[in-house]
């Protein structure tokens, strides 16, 4: 038992080290780069209908990698004697645990909300009914962005009132989190409901979109209409959203299965459980990078910004002068690249 406890403690320590080295810089830098690129694209009037979801994703990635992970790594590396173990900082510790649950669940619900948004954008593309058109409006998009946060807050708030579980500093895994499970059914619900609910919405929406595209493929190519270009753009955005969702499901599934197969609360907090949680957190912090590199407009804007900040080439023996370089720059401004 002592050897097992020592190995599991080392596993928690390793998880915090990996979090400090990998999750924090990847998440913070990725979110900042993604948000900056989105704002740059929107200034060029090239924004998309899913930008609000992308911004929401970057917000909870910043909360996870910029707020929770640094303090969690600190508490583990500092050992049992740290500020978060004192009574004075217990409210902060409980806030950290609450923020973690909210961000992880918001990640799942946001992917489901994006799937619903893509369903409205593609399936209702050519609908002329005004009532139905509301589902493609900015008001509906705003509601879909806010719903994941509201549901996550509603589900995760109960342990703050000592219902179902308790938040605090766990001496066993040396970080703030769920220190006591008062009802295993609540914990399993907490770890599985958002997964199955999200999977159900994702499967229904993307299957409907897939069937819609198969049926309308001949119509789009044989008899092009005014809305063909817009439909192609919505389909391209749907592919990006589906790519994000696929990676999310692959990295989330092991953690959910582990939580459901646990017969006692002690079986949840194991080294294997830590590995699955690291996979889940990694999938969350990779979202901003995937958004930038999968979305053509964001990828091109980010690449152009990096190239503009690159140091100018020094004239070599071939005799290329600065005047010629400036002339080439003026020519490129007269003929801007079409995105």
- Count of residues in the chain: 339
| Residue 15 within a domain | yes
Cβ neighbours, 10 Å, residue 207: 11
Decide if 296 is inside a domain: yes
Query: What is the average per-residue pLDDT within 308-335?
Result: 44
CATH code: domain of residue 183: 1.20.1070.10
Measured between alpha carbons, how far is 249 from 310 in angstroms, rounded to an integer? 37
Residue 166: which residues within 8 A CB-CB, separation 6 or more? Answer: 159, 178, 179, 180, 182
Look at residue 322 and tell me if it is in a domain. Answer: no
Token duo for residue 327? 């002339």
Burial 160-185 (b: 16+ CB within 10 A, else e): eeeebbbbbbbeebbbbbbbebeebe
Rounded CA separation 29/66 (Å):
10
Cα(20)–Cα(64) distance, integer angstroms: 12
| Lowest mean pLDDT, pick from 82-86, 139-143, 169-173 | 169-173
Is residue 335 assigned to a domain? no
- For the segment 156-166, what is each residue's pLDDT rounded down to a tens digit? 898 888 888 88
- Residue 232 burial by CB count (10 A; 0-12/13-18/19+): exposed, middle or buried? exposed
pLDDT-based confidence at 37, cuts 50/70/90? very high
Instruction: List the domain range (segments joined by +) for residue 254.
Output: 2-220+234-301
Distances, alpha carbon 331 to alpha carbons 59, 307, 310, 336, in Å: 40, 17, 19, 9
Ramachandran region, residue 79 (left: φ > 0; alpha: ψ -120 to 50; beta: rest): left
In a domain, 227, yes or no: no
Q: What is the largest CA-CA distance in the chain?
A: 77
Would you say residue 338 lies in a domain? Answer: no
Average pLDDT over residues 47-61: 91
Least confident of 167-171, 193-197, 333-337: 333-337
The three-state secondary structure class of 316 is coil
> Rounded to the nearest 5°, which phi and psi values hold at 187?
-65, -40
Between 195 and 262, name the one with better pLDDT.
195
Q: Quick one: average pLDDT of 174-182? A: 80
- Within a 10 A sphere around the Cβ of 7, how many other Cβ atoms? 11
Task: Return the residue matching tokens 């503009």.
Answer: 308
Residue 280: inside a domain, yes or no?
A: yes
pLDDT of residue 220: 47
- Tally the domains of the chain: 1
Say if 188 falls within a structural domain.
yes
Predicted TM-score (pTM) of the model is 0.80
The contacts of residue 227 (CB under 8 Å, 6+ apart) are 125, 126
């Amino acid at each position: 038992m002592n050897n097992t406890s020592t190995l599991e403690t080392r596993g928690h320590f390793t998880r915090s080290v990996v979090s400090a080295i990998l999750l924090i810089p990847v998440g913070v830098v990725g979110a900042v780069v993604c948000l900056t690129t989105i704002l740059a694209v929107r200034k060029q009037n090239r924004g998309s209908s899913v930008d609000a979801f992308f911004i929401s994703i970057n917000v909870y990635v910043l909360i996870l990698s910029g707020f929770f992970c640094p303090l969690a790594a600190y508490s583990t590396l500092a050992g049992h004697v740290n500020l978060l173990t004192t009574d004075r900082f217990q409210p902060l510790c409980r806030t950290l645990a609450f923020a973690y649950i909210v961000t992880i669940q918001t990640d799942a619900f946001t992917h489901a909300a994006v799937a619903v948004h893509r369903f409205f954008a593609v399936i209702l593309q050519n609908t002329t009914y005004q009532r139905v058109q509301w589902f493609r409006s900015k008001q509906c998009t705003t509601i879909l962005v806010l719903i994941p946060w509201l549901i996550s807050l509603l589900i995760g708030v109960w342990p703050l009132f000592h219902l179902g579980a308790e938040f605090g500093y766990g001496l066993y895994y040396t970080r703030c989190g769920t220190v006591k499970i008062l009802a295993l059914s609540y914990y399993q619900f907490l770890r599985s409901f958002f997964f199955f609910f999200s999977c159900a919405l994702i499967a229904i929406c993307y299957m409907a979109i897939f069937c819609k595209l198969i049926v309308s493929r001949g119509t789009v190519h044989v008899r092009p209409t005014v809305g063909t270009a817009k439909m192609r753009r919505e389909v391209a955005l749907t592919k990006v959203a589906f790519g994000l969702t696929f990676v999310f499901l692959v990295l989330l599934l092991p953690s959910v299965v582990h939580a459901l197969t646990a017969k006692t609360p002690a079986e949840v907090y194991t080294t294997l459980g830590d590995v699955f949680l690291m996979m889940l957190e990694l999938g969350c912090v990779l979202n901003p990078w995937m958004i930038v590199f999968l979305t053509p407009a964001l990828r091109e804007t980010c690449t152009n910004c990096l190239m503009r900040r690159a140091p100018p080439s020094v004239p070599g023996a071939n005799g290329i002068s600065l005047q010629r370089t400036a002339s080439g720059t003026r020519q490129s401004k007269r003929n801007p690249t079409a995105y």
